[in-house]
C-alpha cells in the first residue's frame, strides 16, 4: 500500500470539503448554543435535535457519496491517471471520508455532551442513550459509504441515506424502551448499563463489518472506469 499517494488523495478530498465542513460545524455548535440558551424549552430541544441530525445525516451523505460524484463529474479518470491502484483509491475514499466525517461528528459529539453536562435541566443519565444514537448515525453514515463505494450508484446512495434517516427514529424509539436504557435515562448520574455497552459494541462491530465488506467487494472488481 502506497501510503504517500493515499494521503495525498485524502488531503485532496479534505480540501474539497473544507468549506462545507466548517459551515456544518459552526451551524451545529451555534444550534447547541441556542438550545443551551433556551434554558430547557422543549421546542428548542426538539428543533435543536432536528437540526443536528439533519446536519449529520446530510453531511454524511455528501461526504460519503464523493466516490459516486467523482464518477458522475468525470474526475475519476483524472484521479486514476495518477500512480494509484484501485485498492489504494478505495482506501483513500473509505479512510478519507470517515476521517472527514469524523471531524464533524466528533465536534458535534463533544458539543452535545458538553451541552448536556453544563445545562442543569438535561439529565446526565441521557448521555448513554445520546452516545448510542450518535454512534448509530456514524454507523448509518458508514453504510452510506459502503453502498456508495461498492455500487457507485447515486440512486442506491440516496435510497440508503433515506432509509438510514427513517431507521434512526425507529431505532431511537426501540432503544429507549429497553430497560437497560429507559430506566436510567432520567437519572442525574451517568450509568453505563450492560445493554448500553452491548449496543455500542454491536454498532462498532457493524461499522467494521460494513467497511470490511466494502473492501472485499472492491478487491474483486475487474473494471474501474
Closer residue to another protein (CB): 73 or 174: 73
Closer residue to another protein (CB): 77 or 205: 77
For the CA atoms of 101, 103, 104, 108, the dihedral, rounded to the nearest 10 degrees, stands at 130
Closest approach, Cβ 220 to another protein, in A, equals 11
What one-character DSSP code corresponds to residue 189? S
Closest approach, Cβ 145 to another protein, in A, equals 20
Closest approach, Cβ 199 to another protein, in A, equals 40
Closer residue to another protein (CB): 8 or 186: 8
What one-character DSSP code corresponds to residue 100? H
Closest approach, Cβ 8 to another protein, in A, equals 6
Closer residue to another protein (CB): 88 or 136: 88
List interacting residues with another protein (CB under 8 A). 2, 5, 8, 12, 15-16, 73-75, 77-78, 80-85, 88, 222-225
Radius of gyration of the chain (CA): 19
Closest approach, Cβ 78 to another protein, in A, equals 5
Closest approach, Cβ 76 to another protein, in A, equals 9
What one-character DSSP code corresponds to residue 188? S
For the CA atoms of 181, 59, 143, 190, the dihedral, rounded to the nearest 10 degrees, stands at -20
Q: Which grid cell is 100? A: 472527514
Please name which of 213, 192, 195, 214 lies closest in space to residue 203, comparing C-alpha atoms.
195
How far is Cα 107 from Cα 50, in angstroms, rounded to an integer?
A: 17
How far is Cα 30 from Cα 36, in angstroms, rounded to an integer?
A: 10
Q: Which grid cell is 74? A: 468525470
Closer residue to another protein (CB): 8 or 39: 8
Closer residue to another protein (CB): 15 or 173: 15
Neighbours of 112 (CB within 10 A): 23
What is each CA distance from 186 to 27, 81, 104, 128, 182, in whole angstroms?
Answer: 28, 56, 28, 11, 8
Amino acid at each position: 500500500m502506497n501510503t504517500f499517494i493515499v494521503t495525498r488523495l485524502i488531503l485532496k478530498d479534505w480540501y474539497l470539503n473544507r468549506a462545507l465542513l466548517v459551515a456544518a460545524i459552526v451551524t451545529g455548535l451555534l444550534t447547541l448554543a441556542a438550545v443551551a440558551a433556551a434554558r430547557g424549552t422543549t421546542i428548542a430541544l426538539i428543533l435543536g435535535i432536528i437540526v443536528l441530525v439533519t446536519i449529520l445525516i446530510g453531511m454524511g451523505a455528501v461526504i460519503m457519496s464523493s466516490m459516486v460524484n467523482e464518477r458522475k463529474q468525470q474526475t475519476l479518470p483524472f484521479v486514476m491517471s495518477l500512480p494509484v491502484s484501485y485498492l489504494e483509491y478505495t482506501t483513500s475514499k473509505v479512510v478519507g471520508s470517515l476521517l472527514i466525517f469524523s471531524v464533524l461528528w466528533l465536534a458535534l459529539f463533544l458539543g452535545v455532551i458538553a451541552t448536556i453536562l453544563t445545562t442543569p435541566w438535561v439529565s446526565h443519565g441521557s448521555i448513554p442513550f445520546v452516545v448510542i444514537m450518535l454512534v448509530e448515525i456514524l454507523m448509518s453514515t458508514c453504510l452510506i459509504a459502503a453502498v456508495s463505494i461498492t455500487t457507485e450508484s447515486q440512486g442506491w446512495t440516496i435510497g440508503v441515506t433515506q432509509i438510514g434517516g427513517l431507521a434512526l427514529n425507529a431505532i431511537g424509539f426501540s432503544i429507549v424502551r429497553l430497560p437497560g436504557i429507559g430506566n436510567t435515562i432520567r437519572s442525574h448520574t451517568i450509568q453505563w448499563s450492560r445493554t448500553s455497552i452491548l449496543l455500542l459494541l454491536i454498532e462498532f462491530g457493524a461499522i467494521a463489518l460494513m467497511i470490511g465488506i466494502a473492501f472485499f467487494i472492491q478487491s474483486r472488481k475487474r473494471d474501474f472506469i
